[in-house]
Amino acid sequence: MLEAIALFLWTFAVWLLLQQQFTAFGLATAFAACAASVLVAARLPRLGRGTFTRMPRLAFEQVMRAGAALVDALAIVRAAIAADVRLKPALVRVRTRTSEGLRLAELGSLIGASPGAVVIATDEEGLLVHVNQEGDERFADVGAWEADLDARERRT
């Protein structure tokens, strides 16, 4: 409780110093913003372990896959220009090792960053992915993508 009071007071003081609006509306806005920050901070422990430390690792993983995604996108553009586009769209169920929401969101972000795939839904069993080519080999190693995320999680 003491931490919540300290968070509220410091946020309130910083808000007033930055805004410098000492009107009734300005004080009410500062109070509302500080109360909202205390409520968000109270909910953070329930979001899951490492919520904010996983995001830089996910960004790093996406940067590492950017080259492969660019090559895949160029192959799709080349096929479209050559009018050799024979799509066989399909919905694919990707089973995952975890049912944790944040881990599913990370994996869905990696899959969605690849050209030719869009994550439609997530549930306890895994992800439902729409792919442009039913037999696309790029998505055969989604388990390896998940293992890479797990390995990076364990290293840090």
**How confident is the prediction for the chain on average, in pLDDT?**
78
Q: What pTM does this model have? A: 0.53
CA pair distance 48, 98, nearest whole angstrom: 13
C-alpha distance from residue 7 to each of 2, 3, 4, 29 (Å): 9, 6, 5, 16
Do the beta carbons of residue 40 and residue 21 sit within 8 Å?
Answer: no
For the chain, domain boundaries: 2-47, 51-155
pLDDT at position 49 is 54
Write the CB contacts of 122 (distance below 8 Å, at least 6 apart in sequence).
101, 104, 105, 108, 128
Q: Per-residue pLDDT tens for 30-55?
A: 889 888 888 877 766 665 555 556 66
pLDDT at position 15 is 83
CA pair distance 102, 86, nearest whole angstrom: 35
